[in-house]
Structure 1
Amino acid sequence: MKKMINPRLKRALQRLFLAMLALFVFTLISACGSPDSNTTQGNENGKLSVTTTIGMITDIVRQVGGDHVEVTGLMKSGVDPHLYKASQGDINKLDRADIVFYNGLHLEGKMTEILEKMAKKRTIVAVSDGIDRSKLRNGDQTGTEYDPHIWFDVSHWMSATKSVRDTLIKHDPAHEAQYRSNAENYLRQLEELHQETADKISSIPEEGRVLVTAHDAFGYFGDAYNIKVMGLQGISTASEPGTKDVTDLRDYLVANQIKAVFIESSVSRKAIDAVIEGARKKGHQIHNGGELYSDAMGAEGTVEGTYIGMVRHNVDTIVSALQ
């Protein structure tokens, strides 16, 4: 004979089951839910936690954020962002950040897809988005729609600075006044740098105003400051230059009696050395004009480890070699 359950006991068990189910669902949502993109989490010090890709952006955030931001840069001195692969540690740093800033325009190569997926859950900002697309240079045969090396035109980097400023204010309105003041001061320095760069490059005799580097990173620099730019590789360093690339560049340098070429801190100098040697065999002496910072800044704690210091180093090196 089937045993009947007391109705009162049955109801009590049902209520207990529903309460336990509700607790389980709440716990699951809390564990899996992502932070709202407009909510500041902050770290244990109460500062905005920001993760950046390239050093130039890290420097902007430090300049504008000041004491209210703790910034972690993923790519250090000498690192080529075109070839960079994110580690699990990098993913964790991105995932813990209140805000992530990156360059965009496919500069970060293999990381771009990761960043775009994360953008669905948190605030991830491409600083290049604030620049009018009509002011961007076209890409190359690698499939890059635009040239991503926007920091070589200081006026574009001013736009990037404004993008960082506005994002920090949106997430931390309590410190808006400080962010605006810091940004205003930094933008004033960048305006001076922009004019200083133009004046120095114009001091090079026009016929010798040719900048030859390992890859085509300085196009914006050439457009902004009136200097012809030639890169042995294309916009990206993902593929090696071929023999024809080396030969064509060598022949141009010999024919036009260009006296200096430049290596880059984040790109192998092997191909540029081949150009120099090829010109020597044809009776034309080309010297190494010096090392330029292209896709990465100098070491942390050095003058060249800041954006302004990097630009000044590059300009002074170019002018010294070509005058």
Structure 2
Amino acid sequence: MRHKVKAPFRRWMYVVLFLTASVLVLSGCADSKETTGAEGEGKLKITTTTGMIADVAANIGGAYVDVTGLMGSGVDPHLYKATQGDIRKLDDADIIFFNGLHLEGKMTEMFDKMAEKKTVVAVSEQLPESALRTDGSGVHDPHIWFNVRNWISAAEVIRDTLMEQDPEHADAYRTQAEAYLAELEQLDTYVSEQIASIPEADRVLVTAHDAFGYFGDAYGIQVMGLQGISTASEYGSKDVANLRDYLVDNKIKAVFVESSVPKKSIEAVIEGAAKLGHEVKIGGELFSDALGPSGTEEGTYIGMVRHNVDTIAAALK
């Protein structure tokens, strides 16, 4: 036989349950707010593709942004495929910054779709056509960051986007951008001086793929790569032989490997030159499509560029 609860008691029980639930909800909200605050409540959530872009966004955004870069040290953006975790990070972002000019390959299609519901910006968007390099087929070279002046333009795009999306902190973004842009101006001067210190006849930079074209044009050094502007392009025995012969004929003494490209491609050229009696050494490792490890000098854009130019100058002098 079931025991019936008398109406007055039942009403009292409902009141107790309601009050208990309310306390739990309020407690949960308090815990949630505290946790969110610790993780960056109120900050703009920014997701970027490359580490170079993430570094600029963090410098300009400062304490008002949370920045997540998808591509870490040693990652080749030309061949990168977004994971489910990456897609979640992109979905959660308030702003997505990417390089553009097809550096990110098929991810561009995904960015086009996401742009329908959130702010998605290519940092290369303000560069005029006259500032862009193209290969023989008319495809734009995406490695714009190797001309520091191009990267100043990218930083300005990031600054303007942050100011537009978060006008409350616009003054802070402007001030932080001014300080960072001043550092980039100094970097541009430093790179010019270092390359100018190399004897003109020795200003030849040979790497695994043609990532340094903007660098060569801007700072007066001849650049040659075994592969094209994308590592997705294949190289063959003819490419190896042509580059080998160039090294031998011009008595080039040093070539460079890249952190995001397997060494075997450039090692094949070195071995070919050795068989012809010409010794070529590896002048050092350069960071081309990705920053160095997090927490190191090369893990920042400015540190990466300084490392590259110091390595090139030391080997070619």
Question: When the two structures are superposed, what TM-score results if normalisation uses the length of structure 2?
Answer: 0.87
Seen in structure 2, the aligned counterparts of structure 1 residues 284 and 44 have a Cα distance that, compared at 3 Å, is: closer
Name the residue aligned to 2:74. Answer: 78
Which amino acid letter does the alignment assign opposite residue 139 of structure 2?
A: E
Distance 1:239 1:132 in 2: 26
Q: What residue is the counterpart of 2:63 in the other structure?
A: 67
- Partners of 1:61 and 1:71 within 8 A in 2: yes
Residue 197 (structure 2) aligned to one of 173, 194, 203: 203
1:315 alignment partner in structure 2: 309
Name the residue aligned to 1:275: 269
Residue in 1 aligned with 2:87? 91
Tell me the residue number matched to 1:260: 254
Aligned to 1:23: none
Q: For residues 6-43 of structure 1, what are the alpha-carbon distances to aligned partners after superposition, in whole Å with 9 as ceiling and x for unaligned? A: xxxxxxxxxxxxxxxxxxxxxxxxxxxxxxxxxxxxx8
Is this contact kept in 2: 1:259–1:287, CA < 8 A? yes
CA distances 1:139-191 after superposition (whole Å, capped 9, x unpaired): 344xx621000000000000000000000000100101110000000000000
Q: Which of the numbers 122, 127, 130 marks the counterpart of 1:126?
A: 122
Aligned counterparts, 1:6-25, within 5 A: none
Q: Secondary structure at the match of 2:124?
A: helix
Corresponding residue of 2:279? 285
Q: What one-letter code is carried by the residue in structure 2 that aligns with 1:310?
A: M
**How far did 1:210 drift?**
0.1
Residue 129 (structure 2) pairs with residue 105 (structure 1)? no
Task: Return the offset for 1:239.
Answer: 2.6
Residues of 2 paired with 1:137 and 1:73: CA distance? 26
The 5 A counterparts of 1:239-254 are 239-254=233-248
Residue by residue, what CA displacement relative to the aligned partner does 1:105-161 show, whole Å, maximum 9, x if unpaired?
Answer: 0000121111111111111000000111111001344xx621000000000000000
Which amino acid letter does the alignment assign opposite residue 79 of structure 2? L
Per-residue CA distance 1:202-249 (angstroms, 9 max, x = gap): 110111100000000000000000000000000000133100000000
Matched, 1:150 2:177: no
Question: 1:125 aligns to what SS in structure 2?
Answer: strand
Paired position in structure 2 for 1:116: 112
Shift of 1:55: 0.3
Q: 1:297 aligns with which of 269, 291, 301?
A: 291
> Which residue is 1:163 aligned to?
157
Confirm or deny: 8 A CA contact 2:101 2:124 kept in the other structure.
Answer: yes
**Structure 2: 5+ residue stretches without partners:** 1-38
- Count residues in correspondence: 279
1:47, 1:69 within 8 Å by CA — same for their partners in 2? yes
SS in 1 for 2:106: helix
Structure 1's consecutive aligned runs of 4 or more residues displaced over 6 angstroms after TM superposition are none
Distance (whole Å) between structure 2 residues aligned to residue 167 and residue 44 of structure 1: 20
Contact kept? 2:40, 2:66, Cα under 8 Å: no
Structure 2 letter corresponding to 1:153: N
Percent identical residues: 65
Match of 2:223 in 1: 229
**Secondary structure of the corresponding residue to residue 194 of structure 1:** helix
Q: Which residue number in structure 1 is paired with residue 208 of structure 2?
A: 214
Whichever residue aligns with residue 91 of structure 1, its letter is I
Take 2:64 and 2:40, find their aligned partners in 1: how far apart are those partners? Answer: 12
Task: Give 5+ residue unaligned stretches, structure 1.
Answer: 1-42
Match of 1:47 among 34, 43, 46: 43
My pick for the range that moved more, 70-79 or 109-118, is 109-118
Aligned partner of residue 71 in structure 1, secondary structure: strand
The residue type equivalent to 2:304 in the other structure is M
| Aligned amino acid, residue 210 of structure 1 | V
Residue aligned with 1:295, SS = coil
CA contact (8 A) 1:140 1:234 kept: no
Offset, 1:266 = 0.1
CA RMSD between the two structures: 1.0
User: Which amino acid in structure 2 is aligned with residue 221 of structure 1?
Assistant: F
Does the CA-based 8 Å contact 2:163-2:173 persist in structure 1? yes
Q: Cα distance, 1:45 vs. partner?
A: 1.0
Q: Conserved in 2, the CA contact under 8 Å of 1:83 and 1:110?
A: no
Task: Provide the secondary structure at the position in 2 that maps to 1:214.
Answer: strand
| SS of corresponding position for 1:128 | coil
